[in-house]
Structure 1
Amino acid sequence: MEVPLLPQQAKGFAFFRRLAFPLRIFLLLLLISTVLVAALGQYLSASFEDYLTRHVRDMAMNQAKIIASNDSVVEGVKNRDSARLAAIAHKLADGSDFDYVVIGDRHSIRLYHPNPAKIGYPMQWTKPGAMEKGESYFITGKGSIGMAMRAKTPVFDEHGQVIGVVSLGYLVSKIDSWRLDFLLPMAGVFVLILIILLLLSWLFAAHIRRQMMGMEPRQIARVVRQQEALFGSVFEGLIAVDPEGHITAINRNARRMLGLASPGRQWLGQPICDVVQPCSFFTDKIAEKRQDVICTFNGLSVIANRGAIRSGNEMLGAIISFRSKDEISTLNAQLTQIKQYVESLRALRHEHLNWMSTLSGLLQMKEYDRVLEMVKGESQAQQELIDSLRASFDDRQVAGLLFGKVQRARELGLSLKIVEGSQLQQLPAGLDSTEFAAIVGNLLDNAFEASLRNPQGDNIIELYLSDEGPEVIIEVGDHGCGVPVGLGDAIFDQGVSTKRDEASEHGIGLYLISSYVGRCGGVITLEDNAPCGALFSVFIPKVKLTDATASHDFDS
């Protein structure tokens, strides 16, 4: 049955709970330390008092028996010689620590007493029947000299008959002084121990405060719950590792994509290299931030990001987020197709409006033969381009891309020339139509931009694409503004762009190209294209030479 708290107790507990957690820890440790020190002091004090009592009793009894067996004392008692007994008692007292000794006859009548006026009177605190039995005993009480602990033992003659009694006493005040001589230093030691425990408790509370970053337990619990909810709600896969490469957190989507069994707790603390292969992205230089890196985890092609977890200058590990590249590729394909449709429609609309204006003027001028010739010529040019692309490029997505780029170049006032002999019968291993089209499309887009930035150029962009040899070759040349001096190989790094004055440019195009090409073991070269401009050359083996984690090689 639960005992209800009194109002004062409830208020006290409420006040205690409002205190900061480190302060509560300190107060609890202080209370426990005080109780333990007090209990230990009480135990030691009781133990010493018990020891001191036994020691005094044993010592008093031994001394009393020694005195009772002394021949001079026996003779003095037998002859009732008080003067002789007094001389002996004074001599014994000089070399001993007992407070007094009293000697009596067999009827407990005092023959010697430190106070001569007490001689001849009966001894106090006697045990009835003890003398007749020749029994030694110990008794505590207030006698003629004061409160004392007494040892009484009989005096025997040479025939073994009881002829007297010796009473030897230690005053309680003297025993108390011995007790204080021991307890006072011990109390000082306990106070010192309590102060040390107080300091250690404060240091421990401060350590707890630092480890908890100043947060209360309920705040930490809330952060943990928020982290669990965040990990579970993020669509990407998330894995956190410590500096030694052990898993500290993993969410459901990461387990699903990597083919790991549930629940996730069984993977915590496991070496990441035993769970994910290859694991270099999780363990190599984890202090470095990496973004949008194409990797392979457990056979799944992913795009991964990595960020370091730090506490001040201390490295706590890293968190890796990744998403299936197939999902990105699908989205990229959809966006690429939409972009191509929009560009084609824009070009066709622009050209259609100009063409319709021309037709309207010719019709109003009644130049009917010219109108018929113009219609036939335009239709024939479009059909020839389509037939040429279909004949040279088996991949319809690549062919459609090139048709759209030709129209886009014409709209921009440029001329895209596909070099004679270009062909594509087979895509390189490791690249699908969307990825290959992304490589060609990004190179052409960059050439368009560079040509428009150079008014002195001839506005001609040349494309050569061939798969005749063991490699698929892509060459895109322009007579534009070229690549700025100093960029060199850095042009392929993420975030690097030649269009520095445009805030919307993020330098992702050439980075994606280098990722695709490097994944297949290919090479990109960048050269000057005389008299001005740049020539990008891409060489991709038809047979994949390295896996998705192979390093990229760039020459300039």
Structure 2
Amino acid sequence: MSQSIEQQIGNRALNLAVTTASRPDVRSAFDTLNPSEQLQPIAEEVRKLSGAEYVVIGNTDGIRYAHPVPKRIGQKMVGDDNDRALLKGESYISEATGTLGPALRGKAPIKDSDGNIIGVISVGFLKEDISHTFFSYADSIIGIVVIAIVLGVIGSTILARSIKKVLFNLEPTEIAHLFTERNTVLESVREGIIMVDKHAQISMLNKAAYEILSIPEDSPVIGHPVEEILPNTLLPHVLQTGEKQFDRSMLIRGKETIVNRMPILVGNEIVGAISSFRLQSDFHQLTTELSQVKQYTEALRAQTHEYQNFLYTISGLIQLNSLDEALHLIHSETEEHQSLIHFVTQRLQDPYLGGLVIGLFNRARELKVRFILDEDSHLKMLPKHLEKSLFVSIIGNLVTNALEAVEHLEESKRIVRLLITDNGNEILFEVEDSGEGLPPEIQESLFTARISTKEGEDRGYGLMKVNSDIQDLNGVCSIEQGDLGGALFIISIPKGGFLDGGNH
């Protein structure tokens, strides 16, 4: 605004100077013996009518012929800004300091009828007066600005409260923190998660979803309709009805999955839907492991009953005063138990494997299966860097399968053999049974698919678990026909975490 006022006043001074310089009476006054007599009244008239601070007229030498202070007439003009008008004949606006102070001046040359420059006229407005004009405008503007600021503060306060209410009274830093936590949680879960907006277009997939759906992570699926990725999805139905769906079976690209679907609500409006899904095989593996735990629990319960019966027998013999028979029975049972423990602890000094083998002996005795720990078995301690629970899982699954493979045979033919040995570079396991063996056509895919020679729906996961554990230990497994007539599993686990001489 200040620049605009200065420009307007400068143009006004220039227009006055040009208009006055072109007046005939001003030109004719220069031809008289005393130009000041005619020019002074003209200059004062122009000054008073225009409101200018001064109107000064001078000759080509810069000597004043008219000035608002009469005693300064005849003196040289001050400011040194007349050259462009007197020498070049230009009309212009200048800013200089004269006898009355800093001023904005309009300069114009005075020419005779032949176009010769005979003088100069200067119309000036003091900078002080311009400042007063500015502040007179500024007073009203300041009032408007103050009102605008007050209204802006009130409006922004109302808007901020409204936005904060929509954002659950969270600060921006809290929102950023929650967003980071949300992404971390979504990427850390093993379930696949897919989210769609209200138009059924994909808005988010986590890493597990990319893996389960077999989609490359750099694929541009965000923003695409979900039915392009999952043609049989029910997410659009959830968007329309708001129905929650839990633990629904679904076939996704040939994979059996368990799916949950929920609408995303803002108030009562459905703005999207989310689906979480996981491979059904993961649940089956957990079911299988739980089933094995239950089997061991039943074995322990049966053993408890057996020992209770043993104690009842001893109690009865004592009551019948058959003390010799009672002592003989106690010594016989103790010697058998101690012999088993002594044999196992001598061969297997690692408590994890020793405890497992003793438990398997008890399980085999309950099933009336002859369980043999090979006399060549020998293992001091499992290396600390190898996960012991994986060894327990491998041996437990293979021996359990072997016990089930012979349970339908005659009692005299039920045999399961276990070998555990350390040859220095690797740990070897052999599990052999006297069952019917495995057909050659299923041996290649035995570890990679749900294949079982036993009846029942919940079968075929134990060997898949064995294969996974062997891979975690960087080991290998081979299947052969054993000397007992059944299947022989041979597992080799490198003690150093790798196999010498090749990959697996």
State TM-score, norm by structure 2. Answer: 0.46
Give the TM-score normalised by the residue count of structure 1: 0.42
